[in-house]
Amino acid sequence: MKVARDARSAAVVINAGSRRGAAVHGPAVDRMQKAGVPISSVHQVVSGAELAETLDRVVDDGHDLIVVGGGDGTVSCAAGRVAGTDVTLAVLPLGTANDLARTLEIPNDLAGACSAVSDGKVVDIDLGRANGRPFLNVASVGLSAGVTQALSPALKKRMGPLAYGVATLRAYGRHRPFRARLEFPEGDREPLELDNLLQVAVGNGRHYGGGSMVSPTAGIDDHTLDIYAIEAAPPWEHLKIARMLKDGSFINNDRVHHLTTRSVRVATEPSLPVNLDGELATATPTDFTIQRNAVHILVPQSSTSALLDGRRAPQE
């Protein structure tokens, strides 16, 4: 498949619980159908369990294009279902942060996003795995998991992207430093012991947290994981780091450790929840791996964020 109109059959799955999901599903389907996308099945879901069941069903039904509308957690769930298959994924960014869409240069407005589906090109992107669970943007432990816990659906719907700032302040006040040990199964690095930490993050994509950058060189098809660890510090030091999150230059700060690898095991003391694209989905110790070229996905013709450029890793 080169474009969406080449698909035999397309299914649309919209998370109505996402920030804009309930309001736009009808107009989105109409726009795509008028543009020639062969939509034969439309589903609205309201829970994570229903989302997983619906995605499994539409894959089993033989659709070769699945259009998923929702936030980053919704899209990661879908990516995990189609990884390693011939099914192509398309994204309608209807959540709060929409960091995958930012990475792939998919427009945030409905008309632009629908055009990216109907007129876009198919590329391959990598998929991260954390104890086997999929993530597209970033997995993390520490402060960001506290932010996720503080981000209520009501807060996100009321404040939009500003909700992340409010939740961060709340989580920062409650945070307790932790220890981490990083081990590298492929032997490309020596084990690393880190004390008194604010956060450890493992990035597959380029953006996370409403527009922050993993690193200036991070890419979603570079077949590597970008890892950073931020040490605990006085608030004014963390404020300096926060000001550099948007362009990724924070990795040059003396209190930040940064490296790249293909796989890493992260153990913490104490054991901590792991945030996968905005969802608390597992806990440390966690084995992180990369499934290269795992997902066929539609992006705008003008997007330069990923290329169809290599063989896939074996399906897990």
What integer pLDDT is reported at residue 22 of this predicted model?
Answer: 67
Q: Classify residue 55: in a domain, yes or no.
A: yes
Which of the four pLDDT bands, split at 50, 70 and 90, describes residue 95? confident
Please check whether residues 169 and 280 belong to one and the same domain. Answer: yes
The whole-chain average pLDDT of the chain stands at 90
Residues 6 or more apart whose CB falls under 8 angstroms from that of 83 comprise 127, 134, 291, 294, 295, 315, 316
Structure tokens at 94: 């209807």
Residue 308: inside a domain, yes or no? no
Region 101-117: mean pLDDT is 95
Domain-embedded: residue 316: no
Once rounded to an integer, what is the mean pLDDT over residues 14-27? Answer: 77
Residue 98 CA to residue 15 CA, distance in Å, equals: 13
Q: How far apart are CA 45 and CA 16, in angstroms?
A: 6
Q: How confident is the model at residue 96 (pLDDT cuts 50, 70, 90)?
A: confident
pLDDT, position 314: 57
Q: Is 209 helix (H, G, I), strand (E, B) or coil?
A: coil
Same domain, residue pair 99 and 198: no
Residue 305 lies in a domain: no
| Confidence check: pLDDT of 159 > 80 | no
119-151 pLDDT, tens per residue? 999 999 999 999 999 999 999 999 988 887 877
The answer to whether residue 313 scores a pLDDT higher than 70 is: no
CB 148 within 8 A of CB 280: yes
- 103 pLDDT exceeds 80? yes
- pLDDT score at 148: 78
- Compute the distance between CA of residue 291 and CA of residue 314 in angstroms, rounded to an integer: 8
270 in the same domain as 171:
yes
What's the number of domains the chain is made of? 2
pLDDT tier at 46, thresholds 50, 70, 90: confident
H or E element: which one contains 79? helix 72-82
> Does pLDDT of 18 surpass 90?
no
Q: Give per-residue pLDDT as tens, 188-245.
A: 999 999 999 999 999 999 998 888 999 999 999 999 999 999 999 999 999 999 999 9
Residue 197 belongs to a domain: yes
Mean pLDDT of 176-184: 97
pTM of the entire structure? 0.90
Q: How many CB atoms lie within 10 A of CB 173?
A: 10
Residues 286, 139 within the same domain: yes
Does residue 105 lie within any of the structural domains?
A: yes
Same domain, 168 and 274: yes
How does strand 10-15 pair with strand 65-70?
A: parallel
Residues 15 and 108 in one domain: yes
DSSP state string for 136-200? SSEEEEEHHHHHHHH--HHHHHHHTTHHHHHHHHHHHHH---EEEEEE-TTSSS--EEEEEEEEE
Lowest mean pLDDT among 101-110, 167-176, 254-263, 267-276: 167-176
Residues 140 and 285 in one domain: yes
From 85-89, 160-164, 177-181, the region with the lowest mean pLDDT: 160-164
Q: What are 275-303's pLDDT values in tens digits?
A: 999 889 999 999 999 999 999 999 999 99
Q: Do 281 and 137 fall into the same domain?
A: yes
Query: Residue 199: inside a domain, yes or no?
Result: yes
Q: Which residues have C-beta within 8 Å of that of residue 315, sequence separation ≥ 6? A: 83, 84, 85, 291, 294
Per-residue pLDDT at 3 exceeds 80: no
Same domain, 150 and 252: yes
- CATH code for the domain in which residue 54 is found: 3.40.50.10330
Q: Are residues 119 and 146 in the same domain?
A: no
pLDDT of residue 311: 62
Question: Rounded to whole angstroms, how far apart are CA atoms 145 and 139?
Answer: 9
Is residue 306 assigned to a domain? no
* Domain extent at residue 48: 4-125+294-299
If asked whether residues 92 and 168 sit together in one domain, one would say: no
CATH number at residue 274: 2.60.200.40
Q: Are residues 8 and 117 in the same domain?
A: yes
How far apart CA 263 and CA 225 sit, in angstroms, is 7
